[in-house]
Amino acid sequence: MIIKSAEFVMSNSDVTKCPKSRLPEYAFIGRSNVGKSSLINMLTGRKSLAKTSGKPGKTQLINHFLINKNWHLVDLPGYGYAKVSKSSKKVFQKFITQYFSLREQLVTAFILVDIRHQPQAIDLEFMEWLGKNGIPFSIIFTKADKLKPNAITKHVEDYKSSILETWEDMPNYFITSSSKGIGKDDVLDYIDKLNANMFLS
Ligand code: GTP
Ligand code: MG
Which atom of ligand 1 has the smallest separation from the CA of 53?
A: 12
Asked if residue 145 lies in contact with residue 197, where contact means CB atoms within 8 angstroms, the answer is no
| Four-point Cα dihedral 169, 104, 77, 75, nearest 10 | 90
Q: What's the whole-model pTM score?
A: 0.93
Interatomic CA distance for residues 125 and 131, integer angstroms: 10
Ligand located closest to 84 CA = 1
Interatomic CA distance for residues 33 and 196, integer angstroms: 32
Q: Domain 6-200: which CATH class?
A: alpha beta
- pLDDT per position as a tens digit, 104-149: 999 999 999 999 999 898 899 899 999 999 999 999 999 999 999 9
Query: Which residues, 6+ apart, have CB-to-CB distance to 7 below 8 Å?
Result: 65, 66
The finding on whether 38 has its CB within 6 A of some atom of ligand 1 is yes
Q: What is the pLDDT of residue 66?
A: 98
C-alpha separations of 133 from 49, 97, 121, 127, 183 in Å: 30, 11, 18, 10, 28
Q: What is the pLDDT of residue 89?
A: 41
Asked if residue 186 lies in contact with residue 174, where contact means CB atoms within 8 angstroms, the answer is yes
Across residues 20-31, what is the average pLDDT?
95
85: confidence class by pLDDT, cuts 50, 70, 90: very low
Interatomic CA distance for residues 172 and 12, integer angstroms: 29
Percent of the chain with pLDDT over 70: 92
Q: What is the pLDDT of residue 200?
A: 65
DSSP secondary structure, 130-160, as one string: HHHTT--EEEEEE-GGGS-HHHHHHHHHHHH
Q: Can you give the residue ranges of every domain in the chain?
A: 6-200
Q: What strand order describes the sheet that includes 71-75?
A: 6-12, 62-67, 71-75, 25-30, 106-114, 137-142, 173-175
Residue with CA nearest ligand 1 atom 21: 35
Which atom of ligand 1 has the smallest separation from the CA of 59?
A: 2
Indicate the helix (H) or strand (E) that contains 128: helix 121-132
Q: What is the pLDDT of residue 88?
A: 38
The finding on whether 197 has its CB within 6 A of some atom of ligand 1 is no
Interatomic CA distance for residues 52 and 16, integer angstroms: 25
Higher-scoring residue by pLDDT: 96, 185:
185
E-strand stretches of the chain: 6-12, 25-30, 62-67, 71-75, 106-114, 137-142, 173-175
- pLDDT per position as a tens digit, 35-69: 999 999 999 999 999 999 888 887 888 999 999 99
Q: What is the pLDDT of residue 174?
A: 98
Percent of the chain with pLDDT over 90: 73
